[in-house]
Amino acid sequence: MQQIIDRFFRYVKIDTQSNPKNEADFPSSEKQWDLANVLVDDLNKIGMQDVTIDKHCYIMATLPSNVTHIVPTIGFISHIDTSPDYTGSNVKPQIHKNYDGKDILLNKEENIILSPDYFEDLLLYKGQTLITTDGTTLLGADDKAGITEIICAMKYLIEHPEIKHGEIRVSFTPDEEVGKGAHKFDVKKFNAEWAYTMDGSQVGELEYENFNAAGAKVTVNGRIVHPGYAKGKLVNSMSIASEFIRALPLNETPETTEGYEGFYHLHGLNGVVEKTEFSYIIRDHDREKFEARKVFFRELVDNFNDKYGANTMEVEIKDQYFNMREKVEPVMHIVDIAEEAMIQLDIKPLIKAIRGGTDGSQLSYMGLPCPNIFAGGHNFHGRFEYVPVESLEKAILVIVKIAEITAEKYSK
């Protein structure tokens, strides 16, 4: 356990926050290289082969097969960057042993408390060892937990050659949190038949469905006139933007939906009288409903232009990723193997749809089917993020067991 904690602490203390405003550079932030270079060194130290890092900060490495029969090459993938939603600078992880199910004081000076009254999932981990933030940063378990698990699993397999496995490829990618994590991933170079992202949350999560996703950028053009002489002349772009926001279904937002329900999510707004810009993400698991949401959004913009004048509102909608289910269902044995691994380890599989996306969704459409497996963290992207150490251990064992089961299945 202590080796896992030490490795995880070392990684989360390195700031790797990606930058959503930098669309030109790859990776979007230079500081992602700081962890990437450490990971290259660590992969070499544990005995991985063919360790490479390319000019876009994609790391790949190989654990050679230790069996004589032909086994499909499989992969495990996690991302280097942390979310731009909350600061990842100067992370100070804290250990809480034998969690008693009560409030956890993260920061005495600022009275920041992690409470099971609000975060009920904490009660799943009574008696376990929790790693939290100090309340002033995110933790970075998304996805440095996944990185830790993959490296620890590879180290374990190298140190235990009695566990039979085929060739395993691993990769650590940049910019997942800003939606670019798979954009420059070299599937041909990775050369695996399928892979798993270690990027889920609660123990047991196994996901091969995710949202179809698009981003919408809207500009409202107003007209500034001295307010004393404004009647019939001034056009307040902020007022029009507010009216537009209220015109979208109020019961179809992230905070009012769950399961397979889609939504429109306003996640950025900046305005003055003359111009207001705001952005939405549009999500739905069902492809037809997803396309209908985009049509509705565009038609609503058209209606506002009819009301306030041509070109009052401008919109740009870009698809971001699609539901991986379409690409994974034809090869469901890869999900079955992960499910069997959990069952053999007495972990209850929680097969459900992701209310979000992972690199695996894009990779699946690039020819690398890639379900998602739990990494153990909770409350990502904020000060209340935490991960039980026992969950890290279980994820490591799942990786090892998947490798073992795959070799067994193809030995017949």
Positions annotated as catalytic residues are 81, 176
Do the beta carbons of residue 76 and residue 104 sit within 8 Å?
no
What is the amino acid identity at position 334?
Answer: I
Token digits of residue 322: 């699609």
Do the beta carbons of residue 24 and residue 9 sit within 8 Å?
no
Do the beta carbons of residue 233 and residue 225 sit within 8 Å?
yes
Q: How many angstroms separate the CA atoms of 231 and 308, rounded?
A: 15
Of the candidates 131, 39, 135, 136, the residue with the CA atom closest to the CA atom of residue 81: 39
The helix or strand, by DSSP H or E, that contains position 110, with its residue range, turns out to be none
Token digits of residue 183: 């954009």
Half-sphere exposure of 183 (CA within 13 A, CB side): 17
Q: How many angstroms separate the CA atoms of 149 and 138, rounded?
A: 19
Secondary structure class of 340 (helix, strand, coil): helix
Do the beta carbons of residue 195 and residue 74 sit within 8 Å?
yes
Of the candidates 4, 43, 3, the residue with the CA atom closest to the CA atom of residue 144: 4
Sequential DSSP letters for 308-333: H-TTSEEEEEEEEE--THHHHGGGTH
Alpha-carbon distances of 405 from 70, 169, 293, 393, rounded to whole Å? 14, 16, 42, 18
Residue 315 bridge partners (DSSP):
218
